[in-house]
Amino acid sequence: MESNEITDKEESRKCPMSKIDNTSKTILTYIRKRLKQKYGEDRPLRAVHAKSIGLVNAFIDVEKLSPELSIGLFRTPGRYDAFIRFTNGSPRIGADNKRSTKGMAIRIFPTGNRKLSDDEPAIAHQDIVLLTSQGFYPESYDLQLSGIITAIGKKVQSIANAFILSVISPFKAFRFFIGLLKTPNVLEETFYSCTPYKYGNKSIIKWAARPLKPVISIMPGKPGDNYLREKLIEDLSLDSRDEVAFELLVQFQESKTKEPIENTAVIWKTPFHRVAKITIPPQYIDTIERGQLDLNTYFCPGNAIKEHAPLGSVNMIRSQVYSALGKERIDFGTKKKNPVENTISMDQ
């Protein structure tokens, strides 16, 4: 694996920050306009991944690792608290049997005396945002607006931009659309970060989470609109005998050519290395309090300690856009006549 020192200056040379900032502003303007058209004066939902399958408590157990893996969150063995939001990737609240990317967004917290970072002891959390797709499409900063319009635009706009993207990168577009999946159980899917991150100062990785639960579920004959949530509730019920767990993995960049930072549609072929175990204990998630916490939370690649900071122009745009929209959505909720609490215990 290559071990050159990673610097922000080096990473920014491929795409000037002015272009990233302008692209983010253009995307934010478009999304705000579409959310206003869709929700009016009501509180908007997320622009994409609007439908939550469930928000769950979890534990992240770091094992004894080799020196090259003992970095950042994983520098010493121990346990972190976390919660995870499973989602349908669609911008619309629709039936679970519609094809879509599925999401697994993890938030890791300091636990007891265990901090996320020795250098940044006050940092509140680390987010790891994952999808069932191995590549992030569109793959470059200059195509992100077209990707957003394809996802949330009006019908004619959406079709036109999807056509443009398919002409620019037909194979990547085809691979993305056939990758939109139906699944009987999100707890039996593997999730990927698609985009790259630092692993200390000298290594670059992508994240993944692979289920340890046996893959035994089958699609219902007549799945209900919320069958994925119903299955999640069933698998996490207090009388369930099966442990629900994932292994958290990292995949190192070994070649700047074969594992590029700036082309997020390229699927890396390097091996995965386990750095932690994710355990989701039995719990009841179908509560008003859990639903409110779901509404009042946003996940963002930029919510990270410096050892695991996001890399590349696509991640920079995502970080700016996700953060701005998430804060606006939460602020909207708190300004209502009966504001929803932003700090709800995950023990509920």
17-39 and 313-334 helices, crossing angle to 10°: 40
Evaluate if residue 67 carries a pLDDT over 60: yes
The pLDDT value recorded for residue 347 is 35
Cβ atoms of 192 and 210 closer than 8 Å: no
Check residue 344 and give its pLDDT. Answer: 34
The DSSP code for 68 is T
pTM score, two decimals?
0.90
pLDDT at 336: 63
Query: For residues 4 and 286, which has the higher predicted lDDT (pLDDT)?
Result: 286
The CA distance from 194 to 271, in Å, is: 15
The secondary structure of residue 344, as a DSSP letter, is -
Positive/negative CA dihedral, 177, 180, 182, 188: positive
CATH match of 8-334 with 3.90.1150.10: no
The residue among 141 and 194 whose pLDDT is bigger is 194
The 10s digit of each residue's pLDDT in 121-163 is 778 899 999 999 998 888 888 888 888 999 898 888 888 888 8
The residue-averaged pLDDT of 223-238 equals 94
**What pLDDT does 338 receive?**
45
Mean pLDDT of the 113-125 span: 83
Neighbours of 66 (CB within 10 A): 7
Structural contact between residues 146 and 137, judged by C-beta atoms closer than 8 angstroms: no
pLDDT, greater one: 120 or 225:
225
User: What integer best gives the mean pLDDT of the chain?
Assistant: 88
pLDDT > 90: percent of the chain: 64
Q: Identity (one letter) of the amino acid at 39? A: Y
Beta-carbon contacts of 295 under 8 Å, excluding residues fewer than 6 positions away, are 43, 329, 333, 340
Exposed, middle or buried: residue 332 (CB in 10 Å: 0-12, 13-18, 19+)? middle
pLDDT confidence bin for 11, thresholds 50/70/90: low
Q: How far apart are the first and last CA of the chain?
A: 44
**pLDDT value at residue 1:** 52
Q: Would the pLDDT of 18 be above 70? A: yes
Q: Provide, rounded to the nearest whole percent, the portion of the chain with pLDDT above 70.
A: 91
For tokens 């593997």, the residue is 190
Q: What are phi and psi of 75, to 5 degrees?
A: -70, -30
Q: What is the mean pLDDT of residues 227-250?
A: 92
pLDDT digits (tens, 9 = 90+) for 36-62: 999 999 999 999 999 999 999 999 999
Quick check: 91 and 50 in contact, CB under 8 A?
yes
- More reliable by pLDDT, 339 or 153: 153
Q: What is the pLDDT of residue 301?
A: 96
